[in-house]
Structure 1
Amino acid sequence: MALPPTSSVASTGAHHAPGGSYKPALTLLASLFFMWGFITVINNTLLPHLRSVFELDYTQTTLIESVWFIAYFVASIPSAKLIERIGYQKSIVTGLVIMAAGALLMVPAARLPSYGVVLTALFIIASGITLLQVAANPYVAVIGPPETGSSRLNLVQAFNSLGTTLAPLFAGYLILGRSKGGTAEAGVTLTAAERYADAQSVILPYLIVAAVLVVLAVVIARFPLPAIGQATQRVSREERRGMSLWKHRNLVWGVPAIFIYLIAEIGVANLFINFVSQPDIAAITHEQASRYLALLWGGMMVGRFVGSFVMQKVPADKVLAFFAVGAFIVMLLATFTSGHAAMWSLIAVGLFHSIMFPTIFTLGIKGLGPLTEEGSGLLIMAIAGGALVVVQGWLADTVGLQTSFLLTAACELYILFYALWGSKPTHALPEREVIG
């Protein structure tokens, strides 16, 4: 929890927290990363389901995910202000409660069923996740030695990927597996009664999610998280005079890097099931495709565990550049091949995307010192880039679903540019850390 400026801890110079003092907190926060990854990726299964229930085209389908990511743009700055006001721990608990409320709203959304209420529920859930992201990402990045910040954030993000790996299996069984649209062959037209029955299949999984979120909120509320000192605490106006976020090249280019990366990640994940279900790719049902989606997210999990280890030995920017080149190559293969070659190429991009978000994030806040909290808020706001997945939806409708992945390939090139040049810090301030 954030300490007031007068605290003796906050005024202490930077030093390393004892190793054991923050590891229990990292363990608990890993469960937090798991849950928001799990809930976010339920959307990948939910979108083809809603496409069937509401008879949507690709543009309308991806618009649902755009609303989700617009929440990051709307809620990021208020989240940073809330953290400043009530502290990190209470903000995390508040975020979990907001997410639980949004999950419960999916029940009336399914019973009506209502496209508008679904959008509202997802916006509320995403707003809660935004608050968690603004609080937890910088907390993990600064809670230990600065030189292993990328490694540490990749480690907890690996548990985020564990959630994203299990979510398609969970939602594939409880949503697609229990619906007519999810088990039917591609191109089958459902009756109004079948679509209404399908809408009800989201009730049970979201009730389970809401219950787990409430339990996690209670646990975190009672857990003694280490206090954050000057690392991310706002300093007074006088102390900040002459300091500017815009002098830090790694942040200035890092914000669009997060924005563009999210276009790539979300575009692949949201269109994956529809893509591999096509007759010239894998010719399988949506329920079967959801199992392969789990492999894509599983690749992200493996990549983050490996990346966490590698970045203890190899500079983070070099690792990021290598992964960006790999992602570019497999996206070209997914675009210009067919059958299982295209499907496995798209699955492979999960491995190469794995370390991108946490690595860009830690490179972006490197050297911000007392400006870390504000820089983190801007980087989390950039997650709104996922809202532009609607552009890929429009491309899929106009030039074809497979051709639309050229947009993803172009995104990988910007990440490569950031790794090679944009991530190099300028006007770096002294690193500060959490004091356990």
Structure 2
Amino acid sequence: MARNKNLFPFLLITTLFFLWGFAHNLDPILIPHLKKSFTLTTVQATLVDSAVFIAYFFMALPAGFIMRKFGYKIGIITGLLLFATGCYLFIPAANTQQYNFFLVALFIIACGLTTLETAANPYATALGDPTTGTQRLNFTQSFNGLAAFLAPIIGARVILTKGHTDAELNAMTAANRQLALAAEASSVKTPYFILGSVLVIIAIIFALTKLPRIQHTEGRPASKSLFHALAHRHLAWGVAAQFFYVGAQVCVFSLFILYAGKSAALSQVQAADYLGLCGLAFLIGRFLGTGIMQYIAPQRLLASYAAINILLCVVAITATGMITIYAVIAICFFMSVMFPTIFALGIKDLQGDTEFGSSLIIMSIVGGAIVPRIFAYISDATGNIQLGYVVPLGCFVIITLFGLTGCKVVAKDVVEPATVL
């Protein structure tokens, strides 16, 4: 897959995909945990996602600047250290019992993740034979799916099993209840300290490793501005589609434990195990979808998968019991190819606008900060979290339209397809 001299750097890069996938998929564990520890509403609890995904909006362009100015190696080390700093901040956040402190820590973690994603995706693509760049990227992204499978299962047993049941808390005096909830909030300190320390070690390994220098010499005239890039109709559609896709994905994954407790009466640990199955379905779907695209055009597959998810959202809203859980697991399977497919179709044939187009699509990940809060408002206002699934349903309608018509390139001056990073 990579030449021998690139093998160790490639393996190091691959660890990054697993690490940021693991961090993202601990958030669905943190949401019910912090909701209980700080007695939050669902809307307040979704600030976890807001703190994480708003960082992508603010950090995408600075991260790109770091890569252009100082290179991929410095960018990766910067991302790892930001990631580690956020993890270590969980300790004073737990000690001070401040929910806002947790949100700041998560924002800093996400700034590190944004920097890592900005660096690792193009670096993995370019590290080796250009003709196998897409295969390398698909391989590394599979470890992101592996993390989506493992993180909820591990996180639930490390974090969610440390607390008291609602019945136990209700039986306590007010003072003892407050002490018990404070102790629960502190249960995150050890796992995040360990994660932060692992990240520091990996950053040191990167600093001591000589990474191949990657040059990008497309020979295309540079774009004038973000707005010039956004004039491409299919890019504008791609930004919108990615905004709503990430919003839908975060709704499904981050609120799954709360949803499963209501729709199927599962305990938090049971729900976390099924969330792991959601990650496994996502991983399998990515592998199968990549193979299916050899026979079905990506835009058609995208539209078909999104249309199927519209129907599955109807099941998630109207059904009860375990069928709702199976419907959501199926939604995860059909979401699996959406992010990379929207990304690739959105920056297709942008020529000199490719870099700005890529940044715009990365910035659109901010949908994960906004859309779940609409889900949460509906849930709190109606007292029925299942009704929140009208939000991802609407998102999949937008994605279906993008696959059917929005992704069509209408520019007349296409020279050559842009490289997908």
Whether the TM-score (by the shorter chain) exceeds 0.5 is yes
Match of 1:286 among 223, 244, 268: 268
The alignment-based identity, stated in percent, is: 35
Which amino acid in structure 1 is aligned with residue 92 of structure 2? P
Q: Which residue of 1 aligns with 2:321?
A: 339
For 1:320 and 1:26, how far apart are their aligned partners in 2? 29
Shift of 1:36: 0.4
For 1:259 and 1:318, how far apart are their aligned partners in 2? 20
Match of 2:159 among 175, 186, 199: 175
Q: Which residue of 2 aligns with 1:198?
A: 184
Q: Which residue of 1 aligns with 2:253?
A: 269
Match of 1:319 among 277, 301, 307: 301
Classify the secondary structure of the residue corresponding to 1:253: helix
Tell me, yes or no, if the aligned pair for 2:222 and 2:353 is still in contact at 8 Å: no
Match of 1:329 among 311, 315, 322: 311
Shift of 1:31: 1.8
Match of 1:99 among 55, 74, 83: 83
Q: Which residue of 2 aligns with 1:366?
A: 348
| Structure 1 residues 241 and 126: CA distance shift in structure 2, 3 A | closer
| Structure 1 residues 396 and 240: CA distance shift in structure 2, 3 A | closer
TM-score when normalising by structure 2: 0.89
For 1:225 and 1:305, how far apart are their aligned partners in 2? 28
| Structure 1 residues 87 and 95: CA distance shift in structure 2, 3 A | same
Structure 2 gap ranges (5+)? none
Alignment of 1:31-50 (within 5 A): 31-50=15-34
Shift of 1:242: 10
Q: Which residue of 2 aligns with 1:395?
A: 378
Classify the secondary structure of the residue corresponding to 2:215: coil
Between Structure 1 and Structure 2, the one with more helix by share is 2
Q: Which residue of 1 aligns with 2:120?
A: 136
Which amino acid in structure 2 is aligned with residue 95 of structure 1? G
Classify the secondary structure of the residue corresponding to 1:228: coil
Q: List per-residue Cα deviations over 1:304-360 (Å, max 9, x = no partner).
A: 122223334433222212221222221111111110111111122110111111111
Q: Which residue of 2 aligns with 1:220?
A: 206
Tell me, yes or no, if the aligned pair for 1:328 and 1:413 is still in contact at 8 Å: yes
Q: Which residue of 2 aligns with 1:29?
A: 13
Q: List per-residue Cα deviations over 1:226-272 (Å, max 9, x = no partner).
A: 513224x9x7xx75569941343331111111100011000111211
Shift of 1:140: 4.3
Shift of 1:138: 3.9
Count residues in correspondence.
Answer: 410
Classify the secondary structure of the residue corresponding to 2:46: helix
Alignment of 1:220-239 (within 5 A): 220-221=206-207, 222-225=209-212, 227-231=214-218
Tell me, yes or no, if the aligned pair for 1:143 and 1:433 is still in contact at 8 Å: no
Does 2:241 correspond to 1:254? no
Tell me, yes or no, if the aligned pair for 1:321 and 1:419 is still in contact at 8 Å: yes
| Structure 1 residues 130 and 18: CA distance shift in structure 2, 3 A | closer
Does 2:41 correspond to 1:54? no
Q: List per-residue Cα deviations over 1:371-427 (Å, max 9, x = no partner).
A: 322211111110000111111111110122101101111111111111122122343
For 2:167 and 2:145, how far apart are their aligned partners in 1? 29
Tell me, yes or no, if the aligned pair for 2:97 and 2:185 is still in contact at 8 Å: yes
Structure 1 gap ranges (5+)? 1-16
Higher RCO (CA < 8 A, seq sep 6+): 1
Which amino acid in structure 2 is aligned with residue 224 of structure 1? L
Does 2:153 correspond to 1:166? no
For 2:93 and 2:358, how far apart are their aligned partners in 1? 33
| Structure 1 residues 145 and 354: CA distance shift in structure 2, 3 A | farther
| Structure 1 residues 201 and 187: CA distance shift in structure 2, 3 A | closer
Which amino acid in structure 1 is aligned with residue 316 of structure 2? A
Q: CA RMSD in A?
A: 2.8
| Structure 1 residues 188 and 319: CA distance shift in structure 2, 3 A | farther
Which deviates further from its counterpart, 51-60 or 213-222?
213-222
For 2:393 and 2:210, how far apart are their aligned partners in 1? 43
Does 2:111 correspond to 1:127? yes
TM-score when normalising by structure 1: 0.86
For 1:42 and 1:352, how far apart are their aligned partners in 2? 21
Tell me, yes or no, if the aligned pair for 1:110 and 1:199 is still in contact at 8 Å: yes
